[in-house]
Structure 1
Amino acid sequence: MSVIVGYIPTREGRAALTAARSEALLRKTKLVVVNSQRGGRDFDAHQAQLFEEELRRVQRDLDEAGVPHEVRQLVRGNEPAEDLIEVAEQSDGELIVIGLRRRTPIGKLILGSNAQRILLDAVCPVLAVKAGEDD
């Protein structure tokens, strides 16, 4: 069993990571941190290096907090929703945690496509969190 979190280095990503870390500790289970990138022209070597550095920092923080974890950086052309759902299935995920952006009143009519797909297609419960004002 494990808690899966979709992580990108944004306010929302950090909020999701914080919530996932708390859930993993509460459930006494492993935390699987997933950073999913589509790759291609928009994802160059410099950007890949920045993400790797950020994920190393996440690993250090989780090590220091004593949270059993695994960090996966996936760049294989999939949508993040596909990767998170697949990792949850492979890792016997008991919870997926995702961060949601604040939206305008019009934007609230449409949930982000990745978030919507995860909520609808995940084989386990999904916790969607928003970043606080101080995050």
Structure 2
Amino acid sequence: MAVVVGFIPTEVGFKALAAAREEAEQRGGPLIVVNVLRAGVTDDPRHANDQQLEIARDQLRRATVRVEFRQETTEDDIADILLDVVEKEKAQLLVLGVRRQQDLARHLLGLTVQKLLLSADSEVLVV
């Protein structure tokens, strides 16, 4: 069954990528890596550039399942893009990397993560 990972090019994002690979291999794959770009925003550290995508590809090169990379652009909610991919791919699992910050887990994990946890038609693994 398919595993989708919402990828951001940070330390926690690469940890989520590793966890997603492991889950996809256990479940028989494929693994779909999605990096969402905000339209009109140029300096967002969550946007993966070509070099960061190549590092991610290298990390997954020896995966025993098919791996697909996607960069999606939205003017709307990042969560909606990930939920759409999960639905279209009939994914069994959505993997998210969450930065560990204080301040009550940054007000209960942030709106995007909350929406994904409450709305995904799949299991959700938070790394």
- When the two structures are superposed, what TM-score results if normalisation uses the length of structure 1? 0.82
Using the TM superposition, give the Cα deviation of residue 28 of structure 1 relative to its aligned residue in structure 2, in angstroms. Answer: 1.2
Using the TM superposition, give the Cα deviation of residue 24 of structure 1 relative to its aligned residue in structure 2, in angstroms. Answer: 0.3
Which residue is equivalent to 1:132?
A: none
Which residue is equivalent to 2:75?
A: 77
1: distance between equivalents of 2:104 and 2:54? 37
Which residue is equivalent to 2:117?
A: 119
Gaps of 5+ in 2: none
SS at match of 1:106: helix
SS at match of 1:65: coil
Q: Give matches, 1:82-93, under 5 Å.
A: 82-93=80-91
Say how many residue pairs are matched.
Answer: 125
Distance verdict in 2 for CA 1:58–1:67, change over 3 Å: farther
Which residue is equivalent to 2:26?
A: 26
Conservation of the 8 A alpha-carbon contact between 1:6 and 1:98: yes
Conservation of the 8 A alpha-carbon contact between 1:99 and 1:128: yes
2: distance between equivalents of 1:79 and 1:32? 19
Gaps of 5+ in 1: 130-135
Distance verdict in 2 for CA 1:75–1:63, change over 3 Å: same
SS at match of 2:125: strand
1: distance between equivalents of 2:106 and 2:73? 29
- When the two structures are superposed, what TM-score results if normalisation uses the length of structure 2? 0.86
Letter matched to residue 29 of structure 1? G
Letter matched to residue 42 of structure 2? F
Taking only the aligned residue pairs, the percentage that are identical comes to 38
Distance verdict in 2 for CA 1:59–1:106, change over 3 Å: closer
- 1:14-51 alpha-carbon deviations (Å, 9 max, x no partner): 111111010001111100000001121x226xx97x62
Conservation of the 8 A alpha-carbon contact between 1:62 and 1:68: no
Distance verdict in 2 for CA 1:71–1:109, change over 3 Å: same
Distance verdict in 2 for CA 1:67–1:53, change over 3 Å: farther
Which residue is equivalent to 1:7?
A: 7
Q: CA RMSD in A?
A: 2.0
